Amino acid sequence: MSGGSCTEGKEHEKDGENLAAWLLGIKTLKIQPYHLPSLGPHDVKVRVKALGICGSDIHHFKTMRCANFIVKKPMVIGHECAGIIEEVGSQVKSLAVGDRVALEPGISCRQCNLCKDGRYNLCPEMKFFGSPPTNGSLANKVVHPANLCFKLPDNVSLEEGAMCEPLSVGVHACRRANVGPETNVLIMGAGPIGLVTLLAARAFGAPRIVIVDVDECRLSIAKNLGADETIQVSTNIQDVSEEVVKIQNAMGSGIDVSFDCVGFDKTTSTALNATRSGGKVCLIGLAKSEMTAPLTPAAAREVDVIGIFRYRNTWPLCIEFLKTGKIDVKPLITHRFGFSQQEVEDAFETSARGGSAIKVMFNL
Amino acid sequence: MGKGGMSHGGAGEDKDGEEENMAAWLVGINTLKIQAFKLPPLGPHDVRVRMKAVGICGSDVHYLRTMRCADFVVKEPMVIGHECAGIIEEVGSEVKDLVPGDRVALEPGISCWRCDLCKEGRYNLCPEMKFFATPPVHGSLANQVVHPADLCFKLPDNVSLEEGAMCEPLSVGVHACRRANIGPETNVLVMGAGPIGLVTLLAARAFGAPRIVIVDVDDHRLSVAKELGADGIIKVSTNIQDVAEEVVQIHKAMGAGIDVSFDCAGFDKTMSTALSATRAGGKVCLVGMGHSEMTVPLTPAAAREVDVVGIFRYKNTWPLCLEFIRSGKIDVKRLITHRFGFSQKEVEEAFETSAGGGNAIKVMFNL
């Protein structure tokens, strides 16, 4: 389990003491010792080698909360990671010391109805790296259940392993929305989540993908990643009808599935209006709590709204996509930093700025 | 098809001594007039039906009051009504399954059968749909209509013509239960105990829902719901501040997670309540069409993978509705609260009664 304690940082880097990046307060990260729990029979100890920063990490960093999760005491940040096995618990058979693995962050209870039903991402007892009060994984080492560590093929790097986490969101969304060789896809937002959704939709066989954003630079990245069309849109809600027309023209045929990777009134409204009768809108972006959207006209065309929360059972598929080259996540990694106090601060600054920074990656 | 021409003049026989077909025409806001309705000739796949039972729907009342419903605008006089059943008078040359004298329930909407949606079976979404009393297509509150034979469903002997007419609203509930996958493990919440909430209750029970809680602002409608088999009834307010408290009450009444919620009202409050009350991984079915834009806690629901399923009319529901009624699995008779004959005065009173809501659930014409 990824529990552990924060000891005041008097003895840095002595005798291989484990260090981690702790969130102590608003915009305050400090590298301090992180005492790991002892290894359970089904656990492994992983030396973390690559870790990406997520929008939710930034949100915790800036506000000490994310939706209903509140950081009440110092917490290790970070959850998108991969590393090398250093030690395995007594019952661990499928992994060995030296194995390169990508980590699925969330430990579910395995006993509730949702878990037993396979929808473990919705487990109310979920313990998720970097979601308070569970410590994250921006650390030298973490302890984690072996069954949530997935061995990387030789041709998949540790950074690509860390990218499995955001990619999983796109993969889970494509599954829930049933993306396939006949589904024309619209993606609202070309940020990290919009882009992994684009990659996943292509891998699932979507014949045509149109992506929209306010930022030209992000749209050009999307084009390089294989979007069929990109459209620059505004932040002005009055522009919805006009943009829907542009989007439908760009698609050239009915839009079967729209992914709202942003989650504002405007993006959801656009998606609901642009999607064909009988189609689906997948709400991935979790921006606002209350939304004002034209739900009724959409429901009257049987456009369904599908909710997406994290992912489940996606690592094997993500790794397979990366191994075969069906998906290439490397272009998404735009900035790299090492694991030092200064670099941790710079990295978060860079990620928070957005713009040309897509995925900021730590190499430990 | 339910198209035809409007000729002015009195009822009774026309100059050829044949019975003149009369219908209730919507000629302006709050203005219905019984006038002649000339039927089109019978096509090879059509039948001519003498209407015997026609129910009034909320959408009919909406057209009466405003001459429009969402994007559909009544631009010229239109025959009203669409929930109907009758007796076959004449069959087209290619019609094999029906004969004069057969008692049938009518499915109102004629789809194109050529577009992708039709070919996929989602014909309720056909953009070329011609639906009784959705402008510009004439409805069926008339002595007779002409309609495709494949949209006329023979009534079993023990199913009355009124019950046949009730298949239409019941179909909405049945279609919703199918889209929401109601079964023996789905605990159901129904928002609204009006005609649509009540047919949804009946359908959910028939689909095997183990526990059904229904809410409304009106005590009388809740008591009807209890009579019809609701396990729990809760009186709620129209005040959006009460959502959190009502969600608690609803959870207590259900006693377990709510798998599917049907919003049969379609307001911000009912939708917000449904989204908040439904368990993670569950579904909210938006059946009621209230406001166009809604302000609701969509994101917290999406973050629990509560999906919103849209419902528009129905598809392929008549056979199942008739089977439910035939076998007694569903009893719709209690929903018919008022009956009127087909005269100018009674048509006006019937619509007034239906528009008044309250104790009036389904107002039925007997022709």
- The answer to whether the Cβ–Cβ distance between A304 and B309 falls below 8 Å is yes
At A28, the pLDDT band (50, 70, 90 cuts) reads very high
Residue entry with tokens 């957005």: A354
Distance CA B192, CA A247 (A): 37
Q: Is A65 on the interface with B (CB under 8 A)?
A: no
Q: Among B320, B268, B313, which Cα is nearest to A278's?
A: B313
Q: What is the mean pLDDT of chain A?
A: 94
Distance CA A23, CA A39 (A): 24
Interface test with B, best of A183, A295, A301 (most B CBs within 10 A): A295
DSSP at B13: B
pLDDT tens by residue, B213-255: 999 999 999 999 999 999 999 999 999 999 999 999 999 999 9
The confidence score (pLDDT) of residue A11 equals 33
The confidence score (pLDDT) of residue B71 equals 86
The confidence score (pLDDT) of residue A69 equals 87
Distance CA A256, CA A171 (A): 17
Kindly provide the ipTM of the predicted complex, given to two decimals.
0.87
The confidence score (pLDDT) of residue B1 equals 45
- The answer to whether the Cβ–Cβ distance between B294 and A295 falls below 8 Å is yes
pLDDT tens by residue, B130-148: 999 999 999 999 999 999 9
Residue entry with tokens 């009534």: B155
> Looking at the partner chain, which of B271, B291, B305 has a beta carbon nearest the beta carbon of A309?
B305
Mean pLDDT of A142-158: 98
Distance CA B160, CA B168 (A): 14
Distance CA B52, CA B163 (A): 11
Q: Are A132 and A79 a contacting pair, CB within 8 Å? A: no
Instruction: Give yes or no for residue A117 having a pLDDT over 50.
Output: yes
pLDDT tens by residue, A218-259: 999 999 999 999 999 999 999 999 999 999 999 999 999 999
Among A162-166, A265-269, B11-15, B159-163, which is the least confidently predicted range? B11-15
Tokens encoding B54: 């026609």
DSSP at B208: T
A195 CA: distance to closest CA in chain B (Å):
20
Residues of A in contact with B286 (CB under 8 A): 295-296, 299
> Looking at the partner chain, which of A289, A298, A301 has a beta carbon nearest the beta carbon of B125?
A301
The region, left, alpha or beta by phi > 0 then psi within -120 to 50, assigned to residue B57 is: beta
| pTM (two decimals) | 0.90
At A68, the pLDDT band (50, 70, 90 cuts) reads confident
Q: What is the mean pLDDT of chain B?
A: 94
> Looking at the partner chain, which of B293, B295, B309 has a beta carbon nearest the beta carbon of A290?
B295
Mean pLDDT of A302-306: 98
Interface test with B, best of A277, A284, A308 (most B CBs within 10 A): A277
The confidence score (pLDDT) of residue B38 equals 96
A277 CA: distance to closest CA in chain B (Å):
7
> Looking at the partner chain, which of B117, B293, B306 has a beta carbon nearest the beta carbon of A307?
B306
A287 CA: distance to closest CA in chain B (Å):
7
Distance CA B82, CA B365 (A): 12
Tokens encoding A148: 């949530």
At B208, the pLDDT band (50, 70, 90 cuts) reads very high
B179 CA: distance to closest CA in chain A (Å):
10
pLDDT tens by residue, B149-206: 999 999 999 999 999 999 999 999 999 999 999 999 999 999 999 999 999 999 999 9
The residue in chain B having the minimum alpha-carbon distance to the alpha carbon of residue A298 is B310
Contacts of A349 (CB under 8 A, 6+ apart): none
A284 CA: distance to closest CA in chain B (Å):
8
At A8, the pLDDT band (50, 70, 90 cuts) reads very low
Mean pLDDT of A115-124: 96
At A13, the pLDDT band (50, 70, 90 cuts) reads very low
Query: How do B258-263 and B278-286 pair as beta strands?
Result: parallel
Mean pLDDT of A109-123: 95
Distance CA B84, CA A335 (A): 67
Output the 3-class SS for chain A: CCCCEECCCCCCCCCCCCEEEEEEECCEEEEEEEECCCCCCCEEEEEEEEEECCHHHHHHHHHCEECCEECCCCEECCCEEEEEEEEECCCCCCCCCCCEEEECCEECCCCCHHHHCCCHHHCCCCEECCCCCCCCCCECEEEEEHHHEEECCCCCCHHHHHHHHHHHHHHHHHHHCCCCCCCCEEEECCCHHHHHHHHHHHHCCCCCEEEEECCHHHHHHHHHCCCCEEEECCCCHHHHHHHHHHHHHHHCCCEEEEEECCCCHHHHHHHHHHEEEEEEEEECCCCCCCEEECHHHHHCCCCEEEECCCCCCCHHHHHHHHHHCCCCCHHHEEEEECCCHHHHHHHHHHHHHCCCCCEEEEEC
Decide which of A9 and A349 is more confident.
A349
- The answer to whether the Cβ–Cβ distance between A293 and B298 falls below 8 Å is yes
Contacts of A93 (CB under 8 A, 6+ apart): none
The confidence score (pLDDT) of residue B333 equals 97
The rounded percent of chain B whose pLDDT value lies above 70 is: 95
Mean pLDDT of B324-337: 97
Q: Are A295 and A233 a contacting pair, CB within 8 Å? A: no
At A287, the pLDDT band (50, 70, 90 cuts) reads confident
pLDDT tens by residue, B246-280: 999 999 999 999 999 999 999 999 999 999 999 99
